[in-house]
Amino acid sequence: MNLLEEIRFGFANLGKSGLMLPINQLPDSAPAWIFTEGSVFGVAVELTDDRLVAEAFTGAQLITVDRIVGGVLRRLLRLESNIQSLRNEFAVICAHMVTPGENDCLRQELLIEPSSWWKKWRHLLGNALSAKSSYGALAELLTIEKLMKQGMEVQWQGPSGGVVDVWTPAAGYEVKATISRYDSCIRVAGQFQLALASTRLLNLIHYRFEPSVSGDSIDAAVQRLIKAGFDAEILARSLALVGFYPGNSALRETFVVLESRLFPVCPDFPRIVPESFLSGSLPAGVVRVEYQVDLSGLVSQSF
């Protein structure tokens, strides 16, 4: 029985027992375990520090957990899934993860930077997660930070599905972001996203970012907001709602702000809302309208 066969055998026979079995095909210098935990199954290796990892494919995730193994509390790096119908295919990725390589070189690379291993597989297999881009979330955090510096009371509602991303007592703020240097078009998701302007003041904030090794990040913005008095639990909960858990490498992705502009959503602002139709509502059978708006030439100011 080789490594792949042992992993597949473990997935097929552990059931939902919650057991962790050492993989016999590996040397003592690079141990790993096969595990099942309820509906979740996968493989695990031990980390040598207390860092957090939280990455995800569409049907699998790479995370850190604390578990007692052999009577010892250990910080484990787990690759796990709950899709039983693809467990044999998933076992191939698991075998790659735990393979130690010559002189355990592959294992050492994995332990030094688990997110790098995950990014290679993400690039190969793709990732259809619906989470926000990291620069999109960063744009909302920077908007909150700027409004707080102006002395405003701010609510972050974008992650929880609010009509607009950021609220203050005086206005709503819809936040858009791009990493394109020249594209001036934004995507408006639905007929209600800019409808608030019919009843109260609404602004659209547009950020243009550039990836950079020395720029700003979600992690850095969160720390500044907490220091400024924004509730840390609300920030963590909101980020989790859009797929950014503690340990996710996207939290550390850095960008430089090339431009940030404020567009008042006034009556002349191009938009589609229910009142755009003669009946005052969408045509029968149409439930949602998505469209693009070209911001070039519209009235704006630096934000």
Domain range holding 115? Answer: 3-125
Query: Are 174 and 248 in the same domain?
Result: yes
How many C-beta atoms lie closer than 10 Å to residue 157's C-beta? 16
The pTM for the full model equals: 0.73
Is the domain of 191 the same as that of 289?
yes
Tokens of 172: 């709503």
* Terminal CA-CA length for the chain: 63
- Which two tokens mark 60? 């699998």
Judge if 149 and 296 occupy the same domain: yes
* 104 shares a domain with 146: no
- The residue out of 107, 125, 143 marking a domain boundary is 125
Choose one of 125, 145, 180: the last residue of a domain: 125
If asked whether residues 220 and 147 sit together in one domain, one would say yes
Q: What is the pLDDT of residue 42?
A: 94
Residues 77 and 213 in one domain: no
From the list 22, 19, 18, 38, the residue with the least C-alpha distance to 84 is 38
Query: Are residues 163 and 103 both part of a single domain?
Result: no
Based on the fold, state whether residues 163 and 119 are members of the same structural domain.
no
pLDDT at 193: 74
Let me know whether 78 and 16 are in one domain.
yes
Per-residue pLDDT of the chain (303 residues; tens, 9 = 90+): 899 999 999 998 887 667 889 999 999 999 999 999 888 999 999 998 888 998 887 778 999 999 988 888 999 999 999 888 888 999 999 999 999 999 999 999 999 999 889 888 877 766 544 446 899 999 999 999 999 999 999 999 888 877 789 999 999 999 999 999 888 898 887 777 777 655 679 999 999 999 998 899 999 999 999 999 999 999 999 998 888 888 888 899 999 999 999 999 988 888 887 777 777 777 777 877 788 889 998 999 999
Same domain, 183 and 257: yes
In three-state secondary structure terms, 86 is helix
Judgement on whether residues 140 and 88 belong to the same structural domain of the protein: no
Q: What is residue 128's predicted lDDT score, i.e. its pLDDT?
A: 47
What does residue 172 show for φ and ψ, rounded to 5 degrees? -105, 155
Phi/psi region, residue 42 (left: phi>0; alpha: psi -120 to 50; beta: rest), is left
Which pLDDT value is given to residue 283?
79
For the chain, how many structural domains are there in total? 2
Q: Say whether both 165 and 138 belong to one domain.
A: yes
For residue 116, what is the enclosing H or E element? helix 114-125
Which of 60, 94, 125 is where one domain is finished? Answer: 125
pLDDT score for 131:
46
**What pLDDT does 16 receive?**
67
3-state secondary structure the chain: CCHHHHHHHHHHHCCCCCCEEECCCCCCCCCCEEEEECCEEEEEEECCCCCCCEEECCCEEEEEEEEEECCEEEEEEEEEECCHHHHHHHHHHHHHHHCCCHHHHHHHHHHHCHHHHHHHHHHHHCCCCCCCCHHHHHHHHHHHHHHHHCCCCCEECCCCCCCCCEECCCCEEEEEEECCCCCCEEEEECCCCCHHHHCCCEEEEEEEEEEEEEEECHHHHHHHHHHHCCCHHHHHHHHHHCCCCCCCHHHHCCEEEEEEEEEECCCCCCCCCHHHCCCCCCCCCCCCCEEEEECCCCCCEEC
